[in-house]
Amino acid sequence: MQSDDEVELYDPPAFDIGDKVRLRKQIKNDGTFPGQEIGTILGKKGDIGYVVSIGSFLQRSYIYAVHFLQTGFIVGCRKKELELVEKSKDLE
């Protein structure tokens, strides 16, 4: 398990664009999601989405932009908040 002081960017991303992923925990707006109040639930544990882009945070961690089709939200998630459901067929 990765500790918080490790630099995740030394390794390749855990997920690829197009991967189908599931939320491992509830995600609330921490103030960085526009158009929604702080504390609004953006995704519930078990929600399914697709990775649409990959960025980084503080030059340490990957941030996966996940499009949750049920809500239409595209939410930035960390690796520990996601689990793989199905690899993208484009990369097989």
- H/E element holding 85? strand 82-86
Segment 41-82, tens digit of pLDDT: 999 999 999 999 999 888 889 999 999 998 899 999 999 999
Number of domains within the chain: 1
Residue 4 lies in a domain: no
DSSP annotation string for 23-73? ESS-EE--S-STTS-TT-EEE-TT-EEEEEEEEEETTTEEEEEEE-TTT--
Mean pLDDT of the chain: 88
**73 lies in which domain range?**
17-84
Question: Residue 69's domain is classified under what CATH number?
Answer: 2.30.30.140
User: What is the C-alpha separation between 6 and 30, in angstroms, rounded?
Assistant: 23
CB count within 10 Å of CB 39 equals 9
Segment 8-48, tens digit of pLDDT: 888 899 999 999 999 999 999 998 888 899 999 999 999 99
Residue 8 lies in a domain: no
